[in-house]
Amino acid sequence: MKTITQKELGIRISELRKSKGYSQDELAKLLEMSRPSLTQIELGNRNLSVIELKKIADNLSVSIDKLLSKDFQIETINIPSNDDNFKEELRISIPKLKVDKFKDILLYILEKCAGKPNVGETLLYKLLYFSDFNYYEIYEEHLTGAEYRKLPFGPVPQKIDSIINQMIEDKMIARFKTEYHGYPQTRYIPLIKPNLKNLIASEKDVIDKVIDQYSDWSASAISDYSHKDMPWLASKEGEVIDYELAFYREYPYS
């Protein structure tokens, strides 16, 4: 088995950091280490303790497994082509990310949560998660089709970094860093209006309910709450959360 080198690990960390829009300085602060130390790690000149590795993985929203895996790659979005719709019709449908819908829903949530200082990146992910899973539970169809991975800070939509970066490039949203109750917070503001024509009534309804219910919660409160949700509970850390698990939910999640 080929193990990854220190240098490769450093490059991965560096790439992940950039994809999340952090400078070395910012990430170093989150990791509670000096900036040159992080520089050394990214250059592969400095060894990592397991504790540090865990911290890095957490802060970059990946699992340690993935960070060290042989076939690691930064997730990119492939624009779905229309000619592969015919192979649906499976009873258990495989989620397929609908990028445009995902962007619209993201814009919609950001617009509705404008002025709510608690809605940072973490809460945003959770609003997306509940929207997706609630919708699937009710209608047995995928809303955005995004896959969510179980990570220590909560469910994280896969490929979100590249979608967000694309939206920033396209001037659809802007990212800025701030502080909330003494903790660094990443926030996004919508620069354009969501295209509501892309959302049917039932979809909008589910999203609205999620926003009404959770958007005023603190990140830690919704964290505790979501960590008792069946799909979350039944998944292993680092793995993709199965949509089918939404059907095993109990009150008050169901």
Give the nearer residue to DNA in terms of CB position, either 15 or 242. Answer: 15
Query: At closest approach, how far in Å is the CB of 133 from DNA?
Result: 35
- CA-nearest of 253, 219, 237 to 136 is 253
Contacts for 184 with CB less than 8 Å, ≥ 6 apart? 26, 29, 30, 177, 178
Pick the piece of the chain touching DNA (CB under 7 A) from 31-39, 55-63, 85-93, 196-204. Answer: 31-39
Closest CA to 177 of 20, 62, 58: 20
Specify the stretch interacting with DNA by CB under 7 A; choose among 29-37, 56-64, 81-89, 246-254. 29-37
Give the sign of the dihedral formed by CA 111, CA 227, CA 157, CA 50.
positive
- Of 5, 7, 8, 25, the residue at the interface with DNA (CB under 7 A) is 25
Closer by beta carbon to DNA, 25 or else 111 = 25
Among 2, 3, 47, 71, binds DNA (CB under 7 A): 47
Which range touches DNA (CB under 7 A), out of 21-29, 76-84, 119-127, 140-148?
21-29
Task: Label each residue of 110-163 as H, E or C.
Answer: HHHCCCCCCCCHHHHHHHHHHHHHHHHHHHCCCCCCCCEEEECCEEEECCHHHH
Q: Nearest-5° angle of CA 104, CA 162, CA 159?
A: 80
Q: Does 43 bind DNA (CB under 7 A)?
A: yes
Give me the least distance between CB of 57 and DNA, in Å please. 17
Q: List the structure tokens of 52.
A: 């540090």
Element (H, E) at 220: helix 219-226
What is d(CA 97, CA 18) in angstroms, rounded to the nearest whole number? 23
Q: Tell me which residue of 15, 3, 11, 4 sits closest to 44, measured CA to CA.
A: 11
Query: Candidates 35-43, 54-62, 135-143, 144-152 — which segment interacts with DNA by CB under 7 A?
Result: 35-43
Instruction: For residues 14 and 24, give the distance between their C-alpha atoms in angstroms, rounded to a whole number.
Output: 8
C-beta closer to DNA: residue 176 or 247:
176
The answer to whether 20 touches 165, Cβ cutoff 8 Å, is no
Binding flag, residue 5, DNA (CB under 7 A)? no
For the bound state, the minimum distance from the C-beta of residue 186 to DNA, rounded and expressed in Å, comes to: 14
Residues touching DNA, count (CB under 7 A):
16
Residue from 37, 162, 165, 213 in contact with DNA (CB under 7 A): 37
- Site map 200..229 versus DNA, x via CB under 7 A: ------------------------------
24 is an interface residue for DNA by CB under 7 A: yes
Does 23 bind DNA (CB under 7 A)? Our answer is: yes
Residues that bind DNA (CB under 7 A): 18, 23-25, 33-37, 39-40, 42-43, 46-47, 49
